[in-house]
Homo-oligomer: A and B are copies of this chain.
């Protein structure tokens, strides 16, 4: 099926998310390490993950890792905060290849950026409920405190295309007031959809607050990891080679349209597979 092994430096990287949000991570990987091949999977039949349980999100994530491994990927990026929060430990324990999530890179950047030690994180109910951001920050720097706020309406608003809209403004004000009052100076965008409403969030938080985009930090961390292990792809794909492949569990056409609004590269096709069979 493939002409490489998962130990080859020119094997592809696997990236997955509950749906389309992980494409903001793919976009950063494309920018920062343009020689890499990517196999992306979006679980569009079971999206969203952010309102579901640890047990369910972990079961779903394991199926996806099994699917990605059929491509002999050299590493896997869990480009979904909820899956990173709930499932990463268990996925790592069972894996022969390195697996990285989006939570740790975002946390590390925030702990370096903050000056007053007060960091906010906005994310899904599941990610906030897991307490993972506080846990990671505590491991990195005990002088930094994390304040979490679940923002369940942001994903549907983004998916409805209301990236710049008075309704999104109003909802964002309600969610963010609490964090503004807590005098945070750094805000982690703890869900892969949120970079798409970054301008709204930045305006409401004001100039004194730095926004941290874990998608960007994750691509940096991925580059570092591949480099350290001698796994960076060392040649640009040949003309006509299928550098980026997209798979979903449902609604391939809708995915393709949304994907093309995020990634300028031009996604020509996405294939639907039955993920529950993995």
- The residues of A with any CB-CB pair to B shorter than 8 Å are 44-47, 51-53, 55-56, 152-153, 155-157, 159-160, 166-167, 170-171, 249-251, 254, 276
Contact = CB atoms under 8 A, between A and B. Distances in A.
Contacts of A45: 46, 52, 56
Contacts of A55: 250
Contact of A167 (B52, B56, B171, B254): B171
B51 A251 contact: yes
A166 B170 contact: yes
A45 to B, nearest CB: 5
Nearest to A252: B53
A266 to B, nearest CB: 24
A265 B167 CA distance: 35
Contacts of A167: 167, 170-171
Given A46-B45, A276-B276, A53 B157 contact: no
Contacts of A250: 52-53, 55-56
A273 to B, nearest CB: 12
Q: Which 4 residue pairs spanning A and B have beta carbons closest together?
A: A156-B156, A56-B250, A45-B56, A46-B46
Contact of A44 (B47, B52, B157, B251): B52
Given A45-B52, A53-B251, 12 more contacts: A45-B56, A46-B46, A53-B250, A56-B251, A153-B157, A153-B160, A155-B156, A156-B156, A166-B170, A167-B170, A167-B171, A170-B170
A244 B253 CA distance: 40
A42 to B, nearest CB: 13
Contact of A156 (B56, B153, B251): B153
Contacts of A153: 156-157, 160
7 contacts: A45-B52, A52-B250, A55-B250, A56-B249, A152-B159, A156-B156, A167-B171
A250 to B, nearest CB: 5
